[in-house]
Chains A and B, each alone.
Chain A
Amino acid sequence: MSEKELGQKWDRCLADCAVKFGTGLGLGIVFSVVFFKRRTWPIVFGTGLGLGMAYSNCQNDLRSRYVLHSKVAKEQ
């Protein structure tokens, strides 16, 4: 069902967002704890990184239909 596709995409998007957010958060926390003396900026950075990646993924996913795929034709 084409109408379900969008929902599915959003689902994936959200799921991906959550995962990335969590992962980012986790890594941020880890990095902040490990490398950056418990500063908040790696957490935020990691979260932001995660959200951004999620956003981008989401967008790409939603855009995927409209992206033109080109192929370089082999020269003969």
Chain B
Amino acid sequence: MLRVCWKGAHAAARQCVCGKVKAHPLQHCRKYSTAGDSGSSAGKIVAASLLSVGGGLGGAILYAKWDPKFRANVEKSVPYSDQLFEMALGPPPPPLVLLQKKPGKIEPLQIFSLSEASKESKQPKDKAKKSDPAPVEAPAAVEEAPAPTAQTLEEASVEAAHIISAIGEVPSVPAPGTSDESPPGHTAAGEECKDHHEPELKERPAEEVTARLAQQDKAEQDALAALTAGLEESLGSTAKTTLQAIGAQEAALTAIAAHTNKLKEAMDSETPPDEKSSQWKALNEALSDRTRAMEEAEEALLKAKGELENLRGVINSAKQSKINTARPQILAAEENLHSMIVDLDKVVTKVQTAQTEAKIVSQYSELVNEAKAQFQQELANITPETQANWKGLSGKLSADDLTSLIAHAHRRIDQLNRELAEQRVREQIHIEVALEQQKLEDQKALERAVVSTLEHSREDMRLEQEKKAQEVREVMEAEMRTQLRRQAAAHTDHLRDVLKVQEQELREEAQEILNSKMMEQETHYRRLTQEQLDTFTLDMNAAYARLKGIEEAIDSHVIAEEEARKAHQLWLSVEALNYTLRSAGADFPTEPLEGAVGVIKENCAENEFAQALATAIPEESLSRGIYSEASLRARFYDIRRLARRVALIDETRNSLYQYFLSYLQSVLLFEREQVAPPAKLAPEDLDTFKLLAYANYSIERGDLELAAKFVNQLRGESQRVAQDWLKEARLTLETKQVISLLSAYANAVGLGTTQAP
């Protein structure tokens, strides 16, 4: 009761003190907050920073204006700085450095090409034909415009141009070289050669060659056959026609001869009139025969000539086909042709001569007829009664008619005598004229004969030449054939050898390749099988391993689950224990922890650690329970007060007076209630009041352990006063430590057993 009153009084006193203490910090804070000069200083700072930034910017811009490299660097590194620079300084200067190099390069090339062009143009014209088109054309194109400049440049850089043009000419030398050596006329041939070479350079394969040759042979044979057939055909037809023509001509000849004979007979003979008429009939017949024969002969001649022309055409085409084997045939055909022509000509000449003869005879007969007609006319004039045919007149003539007729006949005789005399006079002239005519005709005939014989002889010569040539050719062919045969034999021998060798080589190669391929295939197959096996075994192993793994996993799962269950149990029991701790009230302890610890012991019978820990819990806590920290804290204040009051009391001083003194001391001693304990305790720290201050500080911060440690350092009566508290504190701390260990252990076990998702 008394204590209660004292407590109340003390509490009131403490409140007053605390209140006073609390008032101070506020005042202090207020004092600090009244520093009002910071505003202007802030403004100064702002101004100073702005000035520095502006200065930096301006300096950067000026320097960029002066040094473009710096500007470029800044633009590269700082974004949007290029815009700023553009605004301030304008667009960046163009990159001059690169362009200056390029024109320099182009110009020297131009110079040299121009000089080369000028040099080329100075060279002889024929070179220009065959020289390289490239260097000539391009420089030629360029040459036109800068010709004057080329000259000046050339003068300036002659040596360089020489060198470069020499270098430039080196690749082009082969082409102009060929034209240099040979005159331009050969260039075409050269080109042709080149062109010929080019197609011939392509080697055709052997089979193609043989095929081609066979084809060619066949074609030749065919052509030859065709040719010979054609020739024979044409020959036959022409021969036929020629024979026909000759026959016709001869028939005509005979007809003409017969006709002339008949005519002569008719003219000359003085046959009785009956025979005369029959003669005249026969003559007419002969005439018609002759004309018919002549026509037939003409037709046959034309046909023969046509056929001959055909034959000639065929022969020419045969000649043009250039098949050597047909030559003899061609020659024979030609000979035939020639002979036919000759025969035909002969017959034609004969016919012509016969015709001339017949003409003469016909002229004579015409004259005679004319005279006769005249005579008859005269007779008719004289004797108008007698008409037409005077043949039938013989018995009907009167004496007048006869006298007139005789008179007329006498007159006629006189006339004729006169004419004869005249004719005799003019005989010579006529003969000369006739001779001249004859000469002319003879000359013409001679010329014609000469021409024809010349042609014939020429043909003969040509045919002989051809024959000789043919013979020589045949001989040559034979020889060439023998040589070729020999060469072919040698070639075949050589080929055989080479083929044998090649065959051998190829066989070996093929064998080798086959072997290698076989080996490859085998190894490949083996590898594949091995791979298959390996993969299979791997798969099997993998599957087995997986199976094992799965089994293990399941087992471990089971184990883990078991563990987890146990851990859960442990954790739950530890939680229960923790919960029991909370059952502590303000002044009374917790429930006895026996139950919870017993549960733990039961549940974790196989867990040695837990068992050990559970047994490590002090007996007192098990039976009686522990005080909570809050209660200990509250109790501490009492302890503190008491300890302060009996701070002076120890073994030596323990009278009542000392008690009074210590009480006075505690009342009069002003110190801080809580002092942060130093890391190391010095001996002077072992003062009761200090210790209590440290302990107070620690306990205020919740560090019961440290407070207990400090309280443990108390000596004397203070120690005795704090004994129980210390014991309780120790108990609480111990139990709490064990329980925290247990819970940490339970948590750890729980974490360990939890399976990650």
> Which chain A residues have a beta carbon within 8 Å of chain B's beta carbons?
1-3, 5-7, 10-11, 14, 55, 58-59, 62-63, 65-66
Closest 6 CB pairs of A and B: A2-B724, A2-B723, A66-B651, A63-B654, A59-B656, A1-B724
> Which chain B residues have a beta carbon within 8 Å of chain A's beta carbons?
2-3, 635, 638-639, 642, 646, 649-651, 654-656, 659, 717, 720-725
Closest chain A residue to B652 by CB distance? A66
Say whether A2 contacts B656, CB under 8 Å. Answer: no
Supposing A3-B639, A3-B642, A7-B3 touch, asked if A62 and B656 sit within 8 A by C-beta, the answer is yes
Say whether A6 contacts B721, CB under 8 Å. Answer: yes
Residues of B within 8 A of A59 (CB): 654-656
**How far apart sit A3 and B650, CA to CA, in the bound complex (Å)?**
15
Residues of A within 8 A of B654 (CB): 59, 62-63, 66
**How far apart sit A35 and B635, CA to CA, in the bound complex (Å)?**
54
* Beyond A5-B721, A7-B642, A55-B656, 12 additional pairs, beta carbon < 8 A: A1-B725, A2-B720, A2-B723, A3-B639, A3-B722, A6-B642, A6-B717, A7-B3, A11-B3, A59-B654, A62-B659, A65-B720
Residues of A within 8 A of B655 (CB): 59, 63
**How far apart sit A23 and B659, CA to CA, in the bound complex (Å)?**
25
Residues of A within 8 A of B2 (CB): 10-11, 14
Consensus secondary structure, chain A interface: helix
Residues of A within 8 A of B650 (CB): 66
**How far apart sit A65 and B724, CA to CA, in the bound complex (Å)?**
15
**How far apart sit A56 and B638, CA to CA, in the bound complex (Å)?**
27
Say whether A2 contacts B722, CB under 8 Å. Answer: yes
Residues of B within 8 A of A66 (CB): 650-651, 654
**How far apart sit A3 and B721, CA to CA, in the bound complex (Å)?**
5
**How far apart sit A66 and B649, CA to CA, in the bound complex (Å)?**
10
Q: Can you identify 14 A-B contacts, CB atoms within 8 angstroms?
A: A3-B635, A3-B724, A5-B721, A6-B721, A7-B3, A10-B2, A11-B2, A62-B654, A62-B659, A63-B655, A65-B720, A66-B650, A66-B651, A66-B654
Closest chain A residue to B724 by CB distance? A2
Closest chain B residue to A58 by CB distance? B656
Minimum C-beta distance from A5 to chain B (A): 8
Residues of A within 8 A of B642 (CB): 3, 6-7
Say whether A3 contacts B638, CB under 8 Å. Answer: yes
Residue from A1, A2, A55 having most chain B Cβ neighbours under 10 A: A2
Closest chain B residue to A8 by CB distance? B3
Residues of A within 8 A of B723 (CB): 2
Residue from B639, B720, B725 having most chain A Cβ neighbours under 10 A: B720
Closest chain A residue to B723 by CB distance? A2
**How far apart sit A7 and B659, CA to CA, in the bound complex (Å)?**
13
Residues of A within 8 A of B724 (CB): 1-3
**How far apart sit A8 and B414, CA to CA, in the bound complex (Å)?**
235
**How far apart sit A10 and B3, CA to CA, in the bound complex (Å)?**
10
**How far apart sit A52 and B387, CA to CA, in the bound complex (Å)?**
244
Closest chain A residue to B642 by CB distance? A3
Residues of B within 8 A of A2 (CB): 720-725
**How far apart sit A65 and B721, CA to CA, in the bound complex (Å)?**
12
**How far apart sit A63 and B655, CA to CA, in the bound complex (Å)?**
7
Residues of A within 8 A of B656 (CB): 55, 58-59, 62
**How far apart sit A36 and B3, CA to CA, in the bound complex (Å)?**
40
**How far apart sit A2 and B651, CA to CA, in the bound complex (Å)?**
17
Residues of A within 8 A of B646 (CB): 6
Minimum C-beta distance from B23 to chain A (A): 32
Minimum C-beta distance from B79 to chain A (A): 76
Supposing A62-B659, A65-B720, A66-B654 touch, asked if A3 and B3 sit within 8 A by C-beta, the answer is no
Residues of B within 8 A of A6 (CB): 642, 646, 717, 721
Supposing A11-B2, A58-B656, A62-B659 touch, asked if A3 and B651 sit within 8 A by C-beta, the answer is no
Closest chain B residue to A66 by CB distance? B651
Minimum C-beta distance from B207 to chain A (A): 131
